[in-house]
Amino acid sequence: MIKLYKIVSIISLTVALFNNIQAQTKEIEYSSLNGSEVTFPPLKTVIDSVLKRSGMLNFRKHHIGVKEATLASERIYWTRNFGLQAETKYGNLNSFSTDSDGQISSAALVTTEQVNYSVGFYFKFPIFDAINRKKQVKLAKLEIEEAKSMAEFQEEEIRQAVIKLYQELILKQKLLHIKSKSFGAGKVSMEMVEKEFRNGVVPTAEYVRISGITSNLEADYEIAKSEFLTIKQLLEDLAGFSFDSQELN
């Protein structure tokens, strides 16, 4: 009879627990989870912000400008073979005459100041430059295309990474919601079992079992919360702004 009484008591307790869990889980869920719901900005907004802030992408775009400047320089490089040269000389000119004995006549010694200048145009025709010029221009064009391709690849890589993080963030939020509900139900169940255990209705083995289940549920909830916050903060750091949220309890 004692065993039968315990079985009936446990069954009655289980039914009562189920009814109370359904009622109280919602209360816990609304008090501890709704305050932590995050309204995420649109995916396009996040992607645009990350692309704008990306240091590597900006580096790639600046590299395109460098290559374009190199091409412009190569196109006018041939002008170095043309030039205009001017020269000016200023000084004293001494003129003298000698007699039949080779002696300098002081009467014929004349010193004059003179300014000499010259202007000239020059043209050089290096054969190597003439042959290699087209190749250099072509190489500069290819380097621009290469830089543009690298920038496009970098942009696409960033887009894909942000999309994965964004979808993972949504998944982590849903998992956190599920874990929160399970943990809330476990807490209510544990409180009621604890009360019945003190009254001698629930045996020690059952109390230990439910206590272990509740601890596991709490651990799962904390892991889910940590994973959610990690992804969220990582994405916020990349985007450069915080998503609308409140602190998790």
- Give the model's pLDDT for residue 162: 96
Tens of pLDDT, residue by residue over 77-128, are: 767 666 667 777 766 656 555 555 655 555 555 566 667 777 766 666 666 6
- Is residue 25 within 8 Å of residue 185, measured between CB atoms? yes
Question: What global pTM score does this model have?
Answer: 0.62
Instruction: Please choose, from the candidates 229, 204, 241, the residue with its C-alpha nearest in 3D space to the C-alpha of residue 36.
Output: 229
Q: Quote the radius of gyration of the chain (alpha carbons, Å).
A: 44
Tell me how many degrees the CA angle 59-61-62 measures, rounded to the nearest 5. 65
Q: Please say if the pLDDT value at position 10 is more than 50.
A: no
Q: Provide CB contacts within 8 A for 55, sequence distance 6+.
A: none
Most confident among 11-25, 55-69, 154-168 (mean pLDDT): 154-168
Give me the mean pLDDT over the 217-239 stretch: 94
pLDDT of residue 204: 87
